[in-house]
Amino acid sequence: MIKVSVIIPVYNVENYLRKCLDSIVNQTLKEIEIICVDDCSTDNCYSILEEYSKIDNRIIIVKNDVNKGLGNTRNIGLENAKGEYIGFVDSDDFVNDIYFEELYNTAKKFNADLVNTQNIIDYKNGNITGYHNYKNYKIGLRKYNIIDIIEYIRIGKVLDYPIYYSTWGKLFKREFLNKNNIRLLSISNSEDFYFFFTVLAYSPIMAYNGKPEYYYVQRVDSLVREGRREDDSKLAYDLFPYLIKHYHMHALEYEPYIKNFLFNHLFFYFVNDYSEDRFNYFKELFMHIYQKDSDKPTNLFLRFYYNKALKNVESFKFCNKLYTSFFRKIFSHKILDLLKKKDILP
């Protein structure tokens, strides 16, 4: 039985690919399949994959006929997967040798739909830095809801276990993903964000184990890192309606919270730009997200924004300056954090 399908999207990472593959083929968990989806690499990636596949028959190579992007490439891996659980590893990253055994055993112990490790480690120029003091967290189930996770990401709410919305650093039960038809969007940015919050809409059983180590390699020239400079606000028309639909159908009680969170996420892309073009785009986008008046945000400042900033470009400028030149300058970080926790400021 294949316990874990490891999905590796590959694009122009010949200098990193061997280290990634070595970390996977040397896993202590042997009952895995390694699905490498080459997204039309123009370097020697495909030759490296062929070399490794001759040594380890668990490696399955899929080659896209045209460049499809990260989301679609991961989806192709999902369609080819046969494992009980799914794990994503970016082709320029690597993991420790107990990574999948620890995640899988935790998943089985708690019958979890999602197992998370938050000891994501930044590996750059030979320097290694842990993102969190993960050893303080015990292995176990999570018992908090979507609101807790949103507040953890937005304002740093203290949780029993840490979590973030990356696709990697986790195991997903394949049956859970297929039953709920959960896939990544074919977008150039924030596909992890959409995927993770779609998973949450279906109330997964979640568990945590901090022993597996995922080494995140910082670079800017691969399929995985491509497009990060793009303004996230441009994704709203593709991303947010799909996400809101999932919550409307399957987690209605959390729909207002996810809308607030999404708009809060977008707010900071507009607050420093006072142009008329920006105002017109923002107004159209805002009305696209909040289609009914009853949907308007609960956050006090964002509700004021909803009522005032959308009237005309001068009001838009005033509200933006009120936030950037008044609130953010007169209040300390401690006061700002408190106002965020009270849902007064975004």
Mean of all residue pLDDT scores within the chain:
83
Handedness of CA 215, 220, 221, 223 (dihedral sign): positive
Instruction: Please check the confidence at residue 158 and state whether its pLDDT lies above 80.
Output: no
Instruction: Please check the confidence at residue 226 and state whether its pLDDT lies above 50.
Output: no
d(C-alpha 277, C-alpha 280), whole Å: 5
**Tokens standing for 183?**
């896939």
3-state secondary structure of 203: coil
Instruction: Please check the confidence at residue 261 and state whether its pLDDT lies above 90.
Output: no
Give residue 225's pLDDT band: very low, low, confident or very high (50, 70, 90): very low
d(C-alpha 115, C-alpha 87), whole Å: 10
Torsion angles phi and psi, residue 335, rounded to 5: -70, -40
d(C-alpha 128, C-alpha 121), whole Å: 7
Give residue 255's pLDDT band: very low, low, confident or very high (50, 70, 90): confident
Closest CA to 4 of 107, 155, 118: 107
Instruction: Please check the confidence at residue 135 and state whether its pLDDT lies above 60.
Output: no
| Residue range 111-119: mean pLDDT, rounded | 89
Q: Which amino acid is it at 203?
A: S
Sequence spans of domains, the chain: 4-217, 232-341
| Strand arrangement of the beta sheet that strand 114-116 belongs to | 59-63, 32-38, 4-10, 85-88, 170-173, 114-116, 206-208, 140-141
d(C-alpha 195, C-alpha 239), whole Å: 10
Handedness of CA 322, 328, 329, 332 (dihedral sign): positive
Residues with Cβ within 8 Å of 238's Cβ and at least 6 positions away in sequence, in order, are 185, 187
| Residue range 197-221: mean pLDDT, rounded | 85
DSSP 144: -
Decide if 210 contacts 130 (C-beta within 8 A).
no
Q: pLDDT of 179-190, one tens digit each?
A: 999 999 876 666
CA of 203: how far to CAs of 59, 110, 141, 192, 259, in Å? 32, 15, 13, 17, 17
Q: Spelled out in words, what is the top-level CATH class assigned to the domain 4-217?
A: alpha beta
d(C-alpha 27, C-alpha 84), whole Å: 17
d(C-alpha 51, C-alpha 332), whole Å: 57
Instruction: Please check the confidence at residue 315 and state whether its pLDDT lies above 60.
Output: yes
DSSP 290: -
Q: pLDDT of 49-78, one tens digit each?
A: 999 999 999 999 999 999 999 999 999 999
pTM for the structure as a whole: 0.83
**Tokens standing for 285?**
């986008």
